[in-house]
Structure formats: structure tokens, C-alpha cells
Structure 1
Amino acid sequence: MTILREKKDMLITVLQAFCHDPLLEWGIERSQQHRQSLTKGSAVNQVKPADEVVFMVEERLIGKIVSPKVFKSRLTNVPMTIQGQVAKLIDIAKDERKLALMYVGWAPHF
């Protein structure tokens, strides 16, 4: 976690390069045009899913616990220390309620 935080800028730059990949943008534009032609509605400015992912990675790298599915309403406002963030992530990973929701066939013990 320490190294990830130290190299945060480089990591975000690489992720943003993937977000602005022309091939990805062309595919998204084509699918958006198809959807708009089906709905015949006006274009709505939406945040790209890739930009949301980069935002969540940035938040995690400054020490916040962020997850789109599990902790949507519980974003921490104050960045945590590295030790605090790692301890919290371990606590979340050991939560029996979360473990009970896992796919039985995963069988990590084999």
C-alpha cells in the first residue's frame, strides 16, 4: 500500500491513458449512437464508467474506503493512514456476513 501511494500519480496517469484510448472511445460512441437512435432522445452528459473507476482508485490511494456495491452510502470523508486502511480492509474481508454471500463453489481452501 505504501508503494501504491508513493507512485499514485504514475498509476493514475496510466489508468487515464486507458480511459482515453481512441479504440475504447470509438466503441462507446458507436454504442451510444445506437442507443440514441433507438430512444430518439437527446444526448445526456453522463460520467463514463472508466472515469468512475479512476475516481474510485484515486480515493482509495489517498486512504478512503470506497466500493460501488458494498459501501455506496458509506464513503469515508477523512483519508486513513496506511495501517488504518489496511486494517479496515482486512476487517471487511473477514466479515462473516460478507463471507456468507460468497459463491460456495469458489472453494478457496483447495
Structure 2
Amino acid sequence: GHLIRATSMFEELCLKSFPPLLYWWFINNFLDPHAWFEARSKFTLSAAVWSGVGHVIGLGDRHSENILVDTTTGDCVHVDFDCIFDKGLNLPRPEVVPFRLTQNMVDVFGPTGTEGMYSGGLKTAMTTLRDNRDTLLSVLEPFLKDPVIDWKRHRAQQNNEAKNKTSNTNNAPSGSKHHEIVEAKRSIKVIDERLKGVYNLRNPNHRKIRRKDGTNSVDQHDEMSHILPLSVEGQVNKMIQEATSSENLLQ
């Protein structure tokens, strides 16, 4: 009931009070029709590639200061990669979208919206990532031994604090290191599963996620969808449905 009311307020108040404007920026910035079409196409395709890569590596904290637009070409450019490897899932208000795909962005894509060029680009990106799974994992695995492993330290500290309350042992440093290694391996495993087509298997918030099927939004009660690998088309469709669901965006 609460989510339904919140969704209604989001769609009736927020979206209508702040209509998409990025589309008009492209028209005003690229006055020549050919230049405008090229810029819009580049934005659409680059956004699709970033969506696929961002989902696979668990890139979060995507807001208007971290998603930029190249004013000369129209390309979508992401910056600030501190919130990576699903760190956003452990925030006080967890991020429940696979990537950022707001109404403002979709409006730029043109009449076809998320279909056509965007979905085609996302399918190509996911196909390329999945076909090169071993190469990508070999690049990411060194993170296991790199200081950048601190992206999971806050959870390790929480676990250690809980243990220290019930134990007087002096093994907190080694315990913290152990948890960092466990979390790093877990994150690599999640990436591996996503590259195989397994979707949201380890997302602790998957019961909060809604998927938009046509005009309806439905709960993801089918546990098999979190275990069985999907085709590239199925994976892409599911990601887009969840990324554009009003119930997810308002959270």
C-alpha cells in the first residue's frame, strides 16, 4: 500500500513537476539536424554500453554529477567510480536499479525509447562482455590483492564489531582481513555469474525490486529467475524493465 501511494506521488507530482529537459538541450546545442541526430545516437549508444558495463561491475552512485555529456560529441560519460562492486547495495537506502536510466535519459533516445538503438546497443555490449568473460575476470581478479579492496571494509568492520561484543579475542585485524578477502571473492563471483546470464542472484534487496511488465509492475517472486542463466535478450529485457520501473526509481 505504501509503495503504491509513493509511486502515485512520484508519477503525479515529481515527474509532472520536473519534465524531461535533456532532449531540448540536444536540440539547442546541436542546431544542424545531422549533427543533432549524430549526437543523439552517440548518447544513446554510449549510455547503453555504460549500462551494461556498470551492471556487470556493480557500479553505483550514478547521479547528475557522475553522468556527464560531452558537449562536442553528445557522448554519455561516467566519472567517479568509488561506489563499485555493488557497494550501493549496502547503503542505508540501497540502490535497487541495475543502472541509471531515468525518464530524462530515455527522452533523449527518441520515439523508440529504450527499444531500438538503446536496447540493440545494450545487447551488443552484453554479448561482448559475456563472450570475453575470461578476459574481463582476469583483469578484475588482481583487485583481490590490491588496497582498493577497501570498498568492502565497512561491512567487515560491522561484522568485527558484532563479534567483539560477544568475544574478548584480539583477532580483529586478522578477522577484518579475512572478511575483506571473502567479500572480494564474493564480488568476483557475482560478476562471473552476471557474465553467465545469472541475474541479481546475490542482490540482498531483490525482494524490494519491481519489474515493469507492460503497464503492470510485479514482484520478483520467481526464485528460479535468480538461479537459471538468461539469454542476452532476456537479461537485457529484465535490466531495462527494472531500471525504468517507477517503483524502483522512487526508492
Q: Matches of 1:80 and 1:58 in 2, distance apart? A: 13
2:144 maps to which of 8, 14, 19: 19
CA offsets 1:73-101 (integer angstroms, 9 cap, x no match): 95622100001100000001111111111
CA RMSD between the two structures: 3.1
Point out the structure with max Rg over C-alpha: 2
- In structure 1, the residue matched to 2:245 is 95
Question: What TM-score do the two structures reach when normalised by structure 2?
Answer: 0.32
Write the distance in 2 (CA, Å) between the matches of 1:6 and 1:80. 14
Secondary structure of the structure 2 residue equivalent to 1:91: helix
Pairing of 1:4-83 with structure 2 (within 5 A): 4-21=129-146, 23=147, 39-40=168-169, 46=179, 48-66=182-200, 67-71=202-206, 74=223, 76-83=226-233
Structure having the higher strand fraction is 2
Alpha-carbon separation, structure 2, partners of 1:83 and 1:18:
30
1:27-85 deviations in Å (ceiling 9; x for gaps):
x7xx98xx69x641667665621111111101110001125242279562210000110
Determine the C-alpha separation between the residues in 1 that align with 2:135 and 2:189.
Answer: 14
Q: Give SS of 1:78's match.
A: coil
Unaligned stretches of 5+ residues in structure 1: 102-110
- Output the CA distance in 1 between the equivalents of 2:203 and 2:228: 18
Opposite residue 169 of structure 2, the aligned amino acid is K
